[in-house]
């Protein structure tokens, strides 16, 4: 419909140019704009259900529940991510402790071997 309208506008503008008084004014484009504005006003403003009916019922409770469920899911995901992060940090700490312990044990073995080696000579 829009393409048809844009296709017809230049032709109708040529027909309106016949009138000497309207040569400088693009009347067809102005009329198309005004008619579109009028249709938009009628559809969106004048016959809007929220503006005409005071006590309308649109299942707002259901929409709120859906929104709350989405928020809860987001919160659960964030909580799960936080828990996983904490578990990873705990695991890293455990690994570091074990490696430090092995490293200290290795140092002690080297010291003991050096002491034994000095005693032999």
CA angle 53/54/58 to nearest 5° reads 75
67 occurs within a structural domain: no
- Per the listing, tokens 């003991």 go with 112
Domain of residue 101, residue span: 79-121
Number of Cβ atoms within 10 Å of the Cβ of 31: 13
Residue 105's contacts (CB-CB under 8 Å, 6 or more residues apart) are: none
Token couple for 109: 């073995």
Same domain, 3 and 34: yes
Same domain, 50 and 96: no
Same domain, 53 and 92: no
Q: In percent, how much of the chain has pLDDT > 70?
A: 78
6 occurs within a structural domain: yes
Based on its alpha-carbon atoms, the radius of gyration of the chain, rounded to whole angstroms, reads 40
pTM of the entire structure?
A: 0.34
The alpha carbon torsion through 50, 55, 60, 62 (nearest 10 deg) reads -130
- pLDDT, average across residues 57-66: 71
Same domain, 43 and 91: no
How many Å apart are CA 80 and CA 111, to the nearest integer?
46
User: Tens digits of per-residue pLDDT, 82-112?
Assistant: 888 888 888 999 999 999 898 888 888 888 8
Same domain, 32 and 4: yes
């Amino acid at each position: 419909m829009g393409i048809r309208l844009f296709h017809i506008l230049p032709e109708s503008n040529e027909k309106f140019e016949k009138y000497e008084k309207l040569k400088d004014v693009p009347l067809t484009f102005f009329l198309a704009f005004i008619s579109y504005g009028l249709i938009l006003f009628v559809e969106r403003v004048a016959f809007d259900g929220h503006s005409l009916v005071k006590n309308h019922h649109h299942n707002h409770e259901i929409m709120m529940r859906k929104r709350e469920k989405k928020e809860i899911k987001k919160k659960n995901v964030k909580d799960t991510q936080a828990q996983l992060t904490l578990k990873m940090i705990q695991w890293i700490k455990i690994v570091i402790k074990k490696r430090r312990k092995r490293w200290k044990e290795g140092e002690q073995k080297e010291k003991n071997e050096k002491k034994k080696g000095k005693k032999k000579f």
